Structure formats: structure tokens, C-alpha cells
Amino acid sequence: MSGHAGCRWNCAALSIHRASASYNIRMMQNQNPATFTAMLAKAQQQNQSMLCVGLDPEPTRFPGNFKNDPSKIFDFCAAIVDATADLAMAFKPQIAYFAAHRAEDQLERLMAHMRSVAPQVPVILDAKRGDIGSTAEQYAIEAFERYGADAVTLSPFMGFDSVSPYLKRHGKGAFLLCRTSNPGGDDFQNQRLASVDGQPLLYEHIARLAQGPWNLNGQLGLVVGATYPAEIERVRELAPTLPLLIPGVGAQGGDAAATVRAGLRAGGSIIVNSSRAILYASADQDFAVAARQEALKTRAILQAAATQ
């Protein structure tokens, strides 16, 4: 077979594969018309969980025969999903960990796999997009049509017109970065806004906007880091009914029990994310078993704190 003919065959096969993955995602979306917040509530009740399993695949940390092999990203993540599907309130794949290895096709496969093995568990695409309205429209297509996500993380700092395209999608969720878990968040998020009544801190202003005038479809949430429990409590005061996506438990040092006490209220759910502590609980072939044990442990801590 000539090089050109081989290329045509491979390209055609790749196009068929991608079309199949996209078709599977669309079919599963049509079969699952529930809103994001309704899916969250159902998954929390069904799996008795506030745990979000973050999917941040790093091939250099993969176990055994998977190590340093980007082509195994799907296999690794699918094994984690299979091991934790009955323990998670949500899954959260981080798009950069796939795009860095040209593995967007593996992310498409993973999204379809999650829909197949855990249709009751919502998927939050961690993309942290933020751009002008026309570009945001394209990012919304990427998140909700290409990948079939139930919700997406966004940066709100370009204003409402950078968020509104996502809110036009009926039933789809969006989490705005509010008080993030990284130390550099202080550079902006803890600064006061002199031009706003009461001179709130920036993260407080974002929380108020999300709870109020920006929440057009009732599906907005906020990202608040577990490393700042006092700020979680403050955000909950300002946004009593919004779901809070809380990263930073586990490898970043956030306290799971303190997170629950600060953020969980009647009418306001929390989704506590753990990524590396679960994904890399073992560097051996038993990684999926170890991931399940770590997820069980974290879920138990969260549930115990909720009853205190």
C-alpha cells in the first residue's frame, strides 16, 4: 500500500472513530435530559457521596506497563472510573492533561465510557475557559456537544458576556472560579472593589453575581478551594443555594472534614474533588484497587463530617 493510500485509510478510520464517539455522546445526551443540578442531587443520594473524582492523567506517573505511554490515557482513566463509579457524586476530567498529549480523542472515548458505566454520575469538564462572547460560543460547543459534558468550569473575569453562552444551554451547569485553592489566588481574589457598594472582596462579588443576576438558567455553581475553609464559609453565606465545587483535598492539603463543615448547608450542595490522591494511590498494577480504597476512605470522611 502506498504512503498516500495508507494515509487515506488511517485518516478515514480516525474520522469514523471520532464520528462514532460523537454519535455515542449525542445519543446518551438525548437519553439523559435531566438538568445538571438534578443529576447532582440524584448521584449524591444514590451513591451516598459528596466526592468528585478528578481525572488528571499524567503518563509519567502511570503504573507498570502504562508508564510514560500517552496512548494509555484512556485505559488508565477508564480503570479509575470503573473502580469508583458507585462512589462518586461527579467525575471531573481536566482537559489540559489530555490536550497536552494530543489525546482529545481519548477524552471523547472516556466521556462516552463514563456515560455507559455511570450514567447517573454527572461529568464536569474542567476547562476554565474565559473569552469574549463569540469565542465562548465555540467553547460551549466544545464542552457540551463535542465532549458531552454536563457542566464546565469557567473563568468569570471577562464579565457576563463571557459566561452567558454557556447559560443558554438548557440544563447544563457552569462553575465560576471564585476563591481558588492555589496560593496565587490572593493576588486578585482577595482584593477589594472600591467601585462596588460595600467594597467587597473580588471573590465575594463573584459569589453574589452567581447567586443573583448571572444565574439565568439556575445551573451556576462556584469553585472554592478546600485550602481556604473560612472563605468557603463566607461564599456559602453569600450563595446559600449554589453547588460548590471544592478542589484541593488530598495532595493540595485541604482538610476534607473542615470543608464539609464550612460548605454544606441545607439547600446548598458541595462537590469535593480529589484527583492525585485517588489516581496515584498506588504505582503498581493494583492501582485501580488502591484508587477505590482511597475513594472509599475519602467518601467516608466526608459523610462522617456531614453528620456531626
101-113 confidence digits (pLDDT tens):
999 999 999 999 9
Gap between the Cα atoms of 40 and 263, Å rounded: 16
Q: What is the mean pLDDT of residues 232-237?
A: 95
Which residue, among 163, 276, 165, 170, has the nearest Cα to 222 in the 3D structure?
163
For 12, 40, 117, 287, the CA distances from 82, given in Å and listed in that order, are 30, 19, 7, 12
Q: pLDDT category, 121, cuts 50, 70, 90?
A: very high
Percent of the chain topping pLDDT 90: 71
Please give the pLDDT value at position 29. Answer: 45
Q: Is position 128 annotated as part of the catalytic site?
A: yes
Three-state DSSP string of 274-307: ECHHHHCCCCCCCHHHHHHHHHHHHHHHHHHHHC
Choosing from 42, 128, 168, 297, the catalytic residue is 128
Please give the pLDDT value at position 196. Answer: 85
- Answer whether residue 19 shows pLDDT above 80: no
Please give the pLDDT value at position 304. Answer: 92
User: Which CATH superfamily groups domain 32-306?
Assistant: Aldolase class I (3.20.20.70)
Q: What is the mean pLDDT of residues 190-209?
A: 89
Please give the pLDDT value at position 33. Answer: 56
Which residue, among 287, 264, 230, 206, has the nearest Cα to 51 in the 3D structure?
264
Q: pLDDT category, 155, cuts 50, 70, 90?
A: very high
- Answer whether residue 27 shows pLDDT above 50: no
* Average pLDDT of the chain to the nearest whole number: 89
Please give the pLDDT value at position 9. Answer: 35
Q: Which residue has the higher pLDDT, 266 or 288?
A: 288
CB 20 within 8 A of CB 62: no
Segments making up each domain of the chain, as ranges? 32-306
